Amino acid sequence: MNISIDDNYCKGCEICINACPKDVFAISQKRNKYGTLIPCVAEKENCIACKLCEIMCPDGCINVETEV
Ligand code: SF4
Ligand code: SF4
């Protein structure tokens, strides 16, 4: 499983944090170039690849890839 967040487009709305049923995301102390606190992938091993985060992110900056 690989979960990536595109720092350049994330606006820190936290929708992904609230949408994930497995609490994979958390607020980090990392800021993007606009000074926005962006989420981090804190519990990647809990991910069930439902892709709700991808669907819910209003800026399309999350990508969930399942390993083959
Ligand atoms: S839903 Fe998208 S824009 Fe909002 S915090 Fe998550 S990654 Fe960033
Ligand atoms: S794919 Fe589902 S379980 Fe995995 S991080 Fe996204 S919302 Fe959470």
Distance (Å) from CA 35 to ligand 2 centroid: 25
What pLDDT is recorded for position 62?
A: 98
pLDDT given for residue 1 in this prediction: 87
**Angle at alpha carbon of residue 35, lines to 59 and 24, rounded to 5°:** 55
Ligand 2 atom, smallest distance to 49 CA: 1
Indicate which CATH number applies to the domain containing 9.
3.30.70.20
SS (H, E, C) the chain: CEEEECCCCCCCCCHHHHHCCCCCEEEEEEECCCCCEEEEECCHHHCCCCCHHHHHCCCCCEEEECCC
Residue 67's pLDDT is 80
CA of 45 to the centre of ligand 1 (A): 20
**Would you give per-residue pLDDT tens digits along the chain (68 residues)?**
899 999 999 999 999 999 999 999 999 999 999 999 999 999 999 999 999 999 999 999 999 999 86
Enter the pTM of the model: 0.94
Segments forming the whole domain that contains residue 44: 2-65
The number of domains in the chain is: 1
